[in-house]
Chain A
Amino acid sequence: MKEWLALVARLVTGGVWVAAGAIKLPDPYESVRAVRAYDLLPESVVPTIGHLLPVLEVVIGFALILGLLTRGAAVVSAVLFVLFIVGIASVWARGIEIECGCFGGGGAKAGASSAYPWEIARDVGLFALSAWVVWVGRSRIALDNLLFRRIPEGT
């Protein structure tokens, strides 16, 4: 049962990642601008992070959907969600009104802060699903199950 639930968690989280990343891929500069709007990172790394995030999101998403190195992918996924939650909480605390840029867009927008609680709640939920996958480790219908046979414990 746990392994079936882990499959569902994988598909939901992975699907969100692929969608979020794919939407941002066509316009590389938009992500750079979205990252810059958080005003958290030094300008020297902003373009690289802006170019990296959409690619990483798509790759992690596919890894989760396929069940490839599931545990590792879920760890990265969980870490990213923590970073996003910290980012949104930080702009909220500083009174900066920006679109989170989670699914494209980004940058200042009046009244954007009303969406922060929902965005944080969504990311907390997705973090919980990722953490669940990390904890369970194995799941149904995964490439991992073809690549890695279970090694019997002990002698």
Chain B
Amino acid sequence: MSKKNREETRAERAAAAIIEQQRRERRRQLWIVFSIVAIVIAVVVAGVLIQSNRDTVGQTLTSSSVPPGVTDTYGVVIGDASAPKTVQVYEDFQCPICKEFEASTRDKLRAAVDAGRIKIDYRMVSFLNDASTTNYSSRALNAAAVVLDTSGQDVFLKFHDLLFDNQPAEGSAGLSDDQLVQYAVQAGATAADVRPGIQDDEFGTWVTNTQDQMSKNHVTGTPTVFVDGKQAGATLGDSINAALAAAG
């Protein structure tokens, strides 16, 4: 074997070793990539599960978790079922503009209900918990559901009106459970009937779900008024005008 040949063989062996090394390095890197991708996917999946677990909106309602006396799960319908027009009103007990809406329209709407011209479908919702230090928006709606359950629609309606007339300021602690019981009694309920449900958040899941049906109906603020299924504009003026026009 000539010297030249021997050198070529050595060079070939060296080249083959380098190629083998590179192949091993590539395999190692591929393995690292797969491992990281697997870990990242696991983290994302775990995160989504945690988020969906923490999301309490939209939990299945059992018949006992829906307050009796509602229509279509979330509506409280006031007036004659055969009234020619339906005014649907979305309100949050913590919403100051709803208070203004009530002040401007309540008497005329109720007169129209009494005259049989309209029925009102109250869709009370709770999405303003951040506006109080005690989740007043949800506590008030739960209290209203308890009142509806124990004392019927007329008492619910008076309680509804009292809560708007005595609405706590935004950023405050809201009305206490005791005050809610007092207003319920003032509306015509019996304290012993409503106190347990108000203190134990009896319809909490239903209250949370009200914002889900609100969102699915593309209602994103309160007050929102629908007249015979047609949504009035987004401003307070639009809502008032639509409601008063329907009341006739």
A68 to B215, CA, bound (A): 38
Q: Is the CB of B55 within 8 A of A152?
A: no
* B75 lies within 8 A of chain A by Cβ: no
The residue on B at minimum CB distance from A49 is B48
Most chain A CB inside 10 Å of its own CB: which residue of B25, B29, B40: B40
Are A69 and B48 in contact, CB atoms less than 8 angstroms apart? no
A140 within 8 A of partner (CB): no
* Chain B proximity mask over A68-99: 1 for CB below 8 Å, otherwise 0: 11001000000000000000000000000010
Decide: A29 and B216 in contact? CB cutoff 8 A: no
In the complex, what residues of B have CB within 8 A of residue A15's CB?
none
A110 to B234: give the CA distance in the assembly, Å: 7
Inter-chain CA distance A38–B50, complex, in Å, is: 24
Q: A111 → chain B, closest Cβ, in Å?
A: 10
- What's the least CB distance linking A124 to chain B, in Å? 26
Could you say which of B44, B51, B52 contacts A25, with CB atoms under 8 Å apart?
A: B51
Measured between alpha carbons, how far is A52 from B47 in the docked complex, in Å?
8
A55 touches B19 (CB 8 A): no
Question: Which partner residue on chain B sits nearest A34 by CB separation?
Answer: B215
- Chain A residues near B220: list those with CB within 8 A: 33, 37, 98, 107-109
Chain A 6-31 near chain B by CB (<8 Å), digits 1 or 0: 00000000000000000001001100
Contact between B48 and A55 (Cβ–Cβ < 8 Å)? Answer: yes
A47 at the interface (CB under 8 A from B): yes
User: Which of B18, B29, B52, B212 makes the CB contact (< 8 A) with A155?
Assistant: B18
Instruction: Flag whether A63 is at the interface (Cβ < 8 A).
Output: yes
Question: What is the size category of the interface that chain B forms with chain A?
Answer: 20 to 34
In Å, the complex CA distance between A29 and B58 comes to 9
Q: Are the C-beta atoms of B216 and A43 separated by less than 8 Å? A: yes
Whether A54 sits at the interface, judged by CB under 8 Å, is yes
Given A28-B55, A51-B48: A151 and B215 within 8 A (CB)?
no
**Interface segment, one of B31-39, B184-192, B193-201:** B31-39
Shortest A38–chain B CB gap in Å is 11
Partner of A36, one of B18, B215, B221: B215
Q: Does A128 reach chain B (CB closer than 8 Å)?
A: no
In the complex, whether A100 has a CB less than 8 A from a CB of chain B is: no
Asked, given contacts A148-B32, A151-B22, A155-B15, whether A63 binds B52 with beta carbons under 8 Å apart, the answer is no
Chain A residues lying within 8 Å of B52, measured Cβ to Cβ, are: 28, 47-48, 51
User: Pick the contact of B234 from A58, A63, A72, A108 — CB < 8 Å?
Assistant: A108
- Nearest chain A CB to B40's CB is how many angstroms away? 6
Of A29, A48, A69, A98, which one neighbours B37 at CB under 8 angstroms?
A: A69
List residues of A whose CB falls within 8 A of some B CB.
25, 28-29, 32-33, 36-37, 39, 43, 47-48, 51-52, 54-56, 58-59, 63, 68-69, 72, 98, 107-110, 147-149, 151-152, 155
Given contacts A29-B55, A69-B37, 20 further A-B contacts (CB under 8 A): A28-B51, A28-B52, A29-B57, A33-B215, A37-B218, A51-B51, A52-B44, A52-B51, A54-B51, A56-B44, A59-B40, A68-B36, A69-B36, A69-B40, A72-B37, A108-B234, A110-B234, A110-B235, A148-B29, A149-B25
Sample (25) of A-B pairs whose CB atoms are under 8 Å apart = A25-B51, A28-B54, A29-B57, A33-B220, A36-B215, A36-B216, A39-B218, A47-B52, A48-B48, A51-B48, A51-B52, A55-B44, A55-B48, A59-B47, A63-B40, A69-B36, A69-B40, A107-B220, A107-B221, A109-B220, A110-B235, A148-B29, A148-B32, A155-B18, A155-B19
